[in-house]
Amino acid sequence: MKKYQHYINGKWVDSAVKGENIVVNDPATEEAIGEISCAVKDDVDLAVEAAKKSYESKVLVDMPPMERASLMRKIAIELRNASKEGGKILCSENGKLLPAAEFEFIDAANYFDYYSGLTDKIEGRTIPVNSNVMDYTIYEPFGVSAHIVPWNYPISMLARSLSCSFAAGNSTVVKTAELTPLATASIFAKAIDNAGVPPGLINIICGYGNGAGNDLTSHKDVSQIAFTGSVKTGKVILHAAAERAIPAVVELGGKSAAVVMPDADLDKVVNSAKGAIFGQAGQICSAMSRVIAHKSVKNQLVDKLSNLANSLKVGHGSEDGTDLTPVISEEQLQKIENYSRSGQQAGANAVAGGKRVDRKGYFFEATVFDNVQPEMTIAQEEIFGPVLSVLEYSDEEEAVSIANNTEFGLAAGVFTNDVNKATSMASQLNGGQVYVNSWFTGSVATPFGGYKQSGYSREKGQEAIKSYLQLKNIGIQL
């Protein structure tokens, strides 16, 4: 079995303390595919120390913006070149489709390219105070930035926060998710290294959340945190940040709803569902996990959605023709089974799927629940699996009320051909992003984040860079 290592201070190393190894499984085969020694506090200390030293050396801060940009574009080129090799590892550790795994490296490259363009646009302003005072603002990095990454998009989510933090001039310690460390520790780290990033600026370790993760977010030399993951862990991270009064970017989960109006093109809803709830086995923070359909079209839509669910081919992510890939772990599979059981017990009707697939691997059937009521657990909680809940409404007010009636507010959608109705809905739905007649219309350039419990930060786009910078006001008595 292949051994993987942490990337600290420009070198690949085992944990400083001989101890537990984290063994990574292919969720489609349940076979072990690699192992990495588990990072503990000593490793966190080494990685933070390397990051702190490189920050204090000013190697990045003093690098002219154009040079920083060119270094970032080199990283992008390396990531693009590594997409085949990296995609293979990512496909087998995460379970996702091979093209989707390869695309994560392309997406990561896009982030580095995008934020390379902002390195020379971090501008302050001058403020009139008095004729004998010159007052101006500048933006400065925080220092050591800690990035805690989830397992659903290990490369993409990492690049999203890291590229922005790097463009802003921070040094970084990344903790990968314990379920998916391999492609990051090997191929992603190699891209950083090949591009010529000075040692210590970016460090990558793998350990458990309540071990190395906790040691990292509570480390005295960490000055800012970026977290993507569950609401529950997000709150733990925010507590750790509050304890030391440092800022944290939190991008959390969702229970996002698509409102389907009477005039909607139902095939557009079905096409969106294919990627947005059954793609990636539904393990997407902004998954379209609820459909709220007008009573005049609900039955017809349920038929179409259940036909879609039944047509999906289950398989390994690397097999041609696979539509439905496994979920990440046995634990996650059991969680989804429990949700499915609770839906059926509460009176919802599984018109497609509803149980685990009878084969090796952590597969759950593409599931469509009809007759879901707004208060049911399956309409309220994030399932993080290929399970779609369909609810019915009679008038627009009711649609908005059902859509907004969860603790989340990540994404929302509306399907209608009436532009007035679309814009009215878009303004009433709680969500950091609203999609019309589609799902996932954004790019690296569009700000992304949550309302309510889904978090309050924004990643992506020009807005995100301010999360990685602090503002200084300077006044000069002339």
Residues engaged in binding ligand NAI (CB under 6 A): 148-152, 175, 177-178, 208-210, 213-214, 217, 228-230, 233, 236-237, 252-253, 285, 332, 382, 384
| Shortest spacing between CB 450 and ligand NAI, in angstroms | 9
Q: Which residues pair with 24 in a beta bridge?
A: 34
User: Whose Cβ is closer to ligand NAI: residue 107's or residue 392's?
Assistant: 107
* Active-site entry in 104, 285, 365, 459: 285
User: Whose Cβ is closer to ligand NAI: residue 369's or residue 393's?
Assistant: 369
- Strand 248-251 relative to strand 224-228, pairing: parallel
User: Whose Cβ is closer to ligand NAI: residue 27's or residue 213's?
Assistant: 213
Q: Which residues pair with 290 in a beta bridge?
A: 257, 389
User: Whose Cβ is closer to ligand NAI: residue 286's or residue 437's?
Assistant: 286
| Shortest spacing between CB 388 and ligand NAI, in angstroms | 16
Cα distances (Å, whole numbers) of residue 447 to 109, 168, 247, 454, 463: 17, 17, 19, 14, 6
| Shortest spacing between CB 59 and ligand NAI, in angstroms | 28
DSSP string, 447-462: -B--SGGG-S--BSTG
* Active-site entry in 251, 365, 382, 392: 251
Q: Do 226 and 142 contact (CB within 8 A), yes or no?
A: no
Separation between Cα atoms, residue 23 and residue 37, nearest integer Å: 9
| Shortest spacing between CB 280 and ligand NAI, in angstroms | 10
Cα distances (Å, whole numbers) of residue 380 to 130, 187, 279: 55, 38, 21
User: Whose Cβ is closer to ligand NAI: residue 285's or residue 348's?
Assistant: 285
| 409 token code pair | 């507010």
- Strand 31-37 relative to strand 21-26, pairing: antiparallel
Nearest CA among 226, 386, 208, 207 for reference residue 310: 386
Nearest CA among 152, 182, 154 for reference residue 32: 182
Measured from the Cβ of residue 18, the count of other Cβ atoms closer than 10 Å reads 8
285 in catalytic set: yes
| Shortest spacing between CB 148 and ligand NAI, in angstroms | 5
251 in catalytic set: yes
Catalogue the active-site residues: 251, 285
